[in-house]
Chains A and B, each alone.
Chain A
């Protein structure tokens, strides 16, 4: 029901707006829902708003968990 795309914050204008990019595509987005966001953070963008920060440690751990899971015998 709601498209959301991971983008990386490449510069922060103020506590409301920042520039986000993915694969060379850039746009000014609102960061007011992710207070404390910093340059380099990955966020999930919906309709021009970052609606959440993507947790890199969790993302990596999730993949590790999956790998372990896939190594288990069926």
Chain B
């Protein structure tokens, strides 16, 4: 225990010193450019981590941190949310999912409301709990909502494989898994319209994919750095990125080397490959249709695919015309630019998904700024 405290204090001193360096370099760069630097935190967990640690506040004078398409709830299209939520209303279904999804507003309902209205909804920490639930409740049709990015995909795959191994006939998965590199590619397709100076890349997606999976960004001329999530990781990521910007170095750096390898985790990717294949196209909120940007279950696992096995009749999705979630997750706008932010749209009655997820840009702004 004492050792831990020593480490913490050592890291804290380092973090303080590094913070000063970041400030000095950041201010200098902003002065040179005559404007604030614009950096996209691709990952929603980074949005929260930078805000929670106070870094967002400390750098606000010279750095404009923009959220990216890295909150799985926020990038899920309204139409997909509506379909997922409609499953809770079916007879005998029991929905198992992560807490992230419980309060997300669809066009007509939320899972929390479905639960209050008699639907069975269970929140899990590990997807494997869904398999246990299915085994314990043979009369229930257990549907695991596999939402997430590449980080969560192998866990979802392992869960489906376990259901198969246990020969469960009352387990299904509803895949809503998206891929990060194609989304960044889509953002960069029109050059760099939002004027980004750099990308902070998601540490845990990179853990699975490897930092090399993002090397395509270099072609855009925009520097990018993979960062972790502890205070020191956050600062090392930011400092490395600022140095790249100063040196005009359009490279993909890795400031999370003790976790993220260039080649990523091959075992994890093999696990994904056993269950999932890349869809021809996937619909994203805010980004539209992006080719090869989402996972669906392989035909071999079609019988586990809730998307195919449970067909519900869902009316056309309705989104509030004033909601600008789509702009926010592509870095084109900040939550403060939304007319609904903190007025009609709050975490307790969210209009768009960016508000409901605490790691969604609007939720993070609401909670931490």
A and B touch in the complex (CB under 8 A): yes
How many Å from the CB of A67 to the closest CB on chain B?
7
Is B208 an interface residue, CB under 8 A from the partner? yes
Is B348 an interface residue, CB under 8 A from the partner? no
A74 and B155 contacting across the interface, CB-CB below 8 Å: no
B14 and A47 contacting across the interface, CB-CB below 8 Å: no
B151 and A51 contacting across the interface, CB-CB below 8 Å: yes
Residues of B within 8 A of A44 (CB): 204, 207, 259
How many Å from the CB of B208 to the closest CB on chain A?
6
A29 and B126 contacting across the interface, CB-CB below 8 Å: yes
Which stretch (B17-25, B88-96, B217-225, B275-283) binds chain A?
B17-25
How many Å from the CB of B361 to the closest CB on chain A?
12
Residues of A within 8 A of B236 (CB): 62, 66
Residues of B within 8 A of A63 (CB): 14
A1 and B204 contacting across the interface, CB-CB below 8 Å: yes
**How far is B202's CA from A74's CA once the two chains are assembled, in angstroms?**
28
B151 and A1 contacting across the interface, CB-CB below 8 Å: yes
Residues of B within 8 A of A67 (CB): 14
Given A58-B257, A70-B17: A48 in contact with B151 (beta carbons within 8 A): no
Is B268 an interface residue, CB under 8 A from the partner? yes
How many Å from the CB of A4 to the closest CB on chain B?
5
Is A39 an interface residue, CB under 8 A from the partner? no
A47 and B98 contacting across the interface, CB-CB below 8 Å: yes
**How far is B158's CA from A48's CA once the two chains are assembled, in angstroms?**
11
Encode contact with B along A16-52: 1 for CB under 8 Å, 0 otherwise: 0000000100000110111100000000101111011
Given A34-B267, A51-B207, A66-B236: A1 in contact with B125 (beta carbons within 8 A): no
Within 8 A of A (CB), among B193-212: 202-205, 207-208
B202 and A30 contacting across the interface, CB-CB below 8 Å: no
Of chain B, the residue at the smallest CB distance from A48 is: B126
Is B128 an interface residue, CB under 8 A from the partner? yes
Is B349 an interface residue, CB under 8 A from the partner? no
One of A33, A35, A55, A74 near B258 (C-beta < 8 A): A55
How many Å from the CB of A5 to the closest CB on chain B?
9
**How far is B133's CA from A15's CA once the two chains are assembled, in angstroms?**
23
One of A4, A32, A55 near B151 (C-beta < 8 A): A4
Residues of B within 8 A of A51 (CB): 151, 154-155, 204, 207-208, 265, 268
How many Å from the CB of B148 to the closest CB on chain A?
7
Is B127 an interface residue, CB under 8 A from the partner? yes
Within 8 A of A (CB), among B127-165: 127-129, 148-149, 151-152, 154-155, 158
5 more CB-based (< 8 A) A-B contacts, given A1-B151, A48-B126, A59-B258: A1-B43, A30-B155, A51-B151, A52-B268, A55-B259
Please give the residue numbers on chain A whose beta carbons come within 8 Å of chain B beta carbons, in ascending order.
Answer: 1-4, 23, 29-30, 32-35, 44, 46-49, 51-52, 54-56, 58-59, 62-63, 66-67, 70, 74
Please give the residue numbers on chain B whose beta carbons come within 8 Å of chain A beta carbons, in ascending order.
Answer: 4, 14, 17-18, 21, 24, 42-45, 70-72, 98, 125-129, 148-149, 151-152, 154-155, 158, 180, 202-205, 207-208, 229, 232, 236, 257-261, 265, 267-268, 271, 359
